[in-house]
Amino acid sequence: MYLDPPQTAAQIAELLGTKAKGNSERLVTGLNEINRVQAGDLVYVDHEKYYNKALNSAATTILINKDVEVPEGKAIVISEDPCADYNKLVRHFNPLLGWPRTEPVIGEGSEVHPSVVVGPNVKIGAGCRIMPGVVLYENTTIGDRVIIHANTVLGADPFYFKKRPNGYDKMIPCGSVVIEDDVEIGALCTIDRGLSADTRIGQGTKLDNHVQVGHDTLIGKHCLICAHVAIAGAVVVEDGVTLWGQVGIPSKLTVGKGAVIMGQSGIMSSVEGGKSYLGSPASELKTKLREIALTSRLPELFRSIAERSVPEKKQKD
């Protein structure tokens, strides 16, 4: 999320009723969570385990719950509850927008069914077809020649919560969804908006029905994603990847360019491109097929061992 106009770290601290240290005149040009930060961003951290990651990230202002040494050129804003204060900043700079009652601006030649629900700041390109029951939340951008089938939802809130002793606090999103040109999305898919940046589906990628894409996930160009695939948040799927039915991908992993993950597989770590994978946890296809073949021979192997052991037993008697 970009701030317009940018604020200094000192101004951010004043808004939160706290203080800034280090380069307090450092401009904060955006708010971002740790997986997508860049220079000028403010990021929050509230656990000692992640202090170094946040302080040494590309972010130049850190909202933190401890008075620590400030990295050169950066600023820290000290907060008793960084998560709550981060939410406060999001809501301050990104107030809730009501659902518009005016007709959205739609590109030339696009067909949008009358039952489609379109939120504020939604952009629909030229030559698109948006089928019945589709819901487009705020700040969704759709490129040219995109097809979205019935009852798909783009831009729902991320599944992102802060655990508290008495329950969970919702992280307030300020991100978006970007669908590039020539993408086709099947029926009943759900693509969550980014927490603070965008969730992006690359040019020419095709999604089957019942696909879930989590917040801040980046899917490359010309990927093929089959039914019932579930991709968690902050995943990177590079160009030309194929995910067959019911594949599961946990958060923050990378699937390399041109990789193929076979049906019902689940990866537990990032995988290289240009290879095929099978199983849960998945391994390279050829290795997994050999394992399956050997496993199928276990009963025969056990019988053979048992038969060889009988004469040996009689000889001893």
Strand pairing category for 147-148 and 184-185: parallel
> Distance of CA 262 to CAs 165, 211, 236, 273, Å?
40, 15, 18, 14
**Helix 285-296 crosses helix 298-316 at what angle (to 10 degrees)?**
40
Active-site residue, selected from the candidate residues 92, 215, 222, 228? 215
Strand pairing category for 224-225 and 276-279: unpaired
Q: Is 113 known to be catalytic?
A: no
Instruction: Give the DSSP letter of residue 210.
Output: S
> Cα(255)–Cα(249) distance, rounded to whole angstroms?
9
Amino acid symbol at 118: V
Instruction: Give the DSSP letter of residue 80.
Output: S
> Cα(1)–Cα(41) distance, rounded to whole angstroms?
9
Contact between residue 34 and residue 50 where contact means Cβ atoms under 8 Å apart? yes
Strand, coil or helix: what is 197? coil
Contact between residue 29 and residue 2 where contact means Cβ atoms under 8 Å apart? yes
**How many CB atoms sit inside 10 A of residue 67's CB?**
10
Give the chain's length.
Answer: 317
Q: What number of H helices and E strands is found in the chain?
A: 5, 32
Strand pairing category for 27-31 and 41-45: parallel
Residues with a known catalytic role: 215
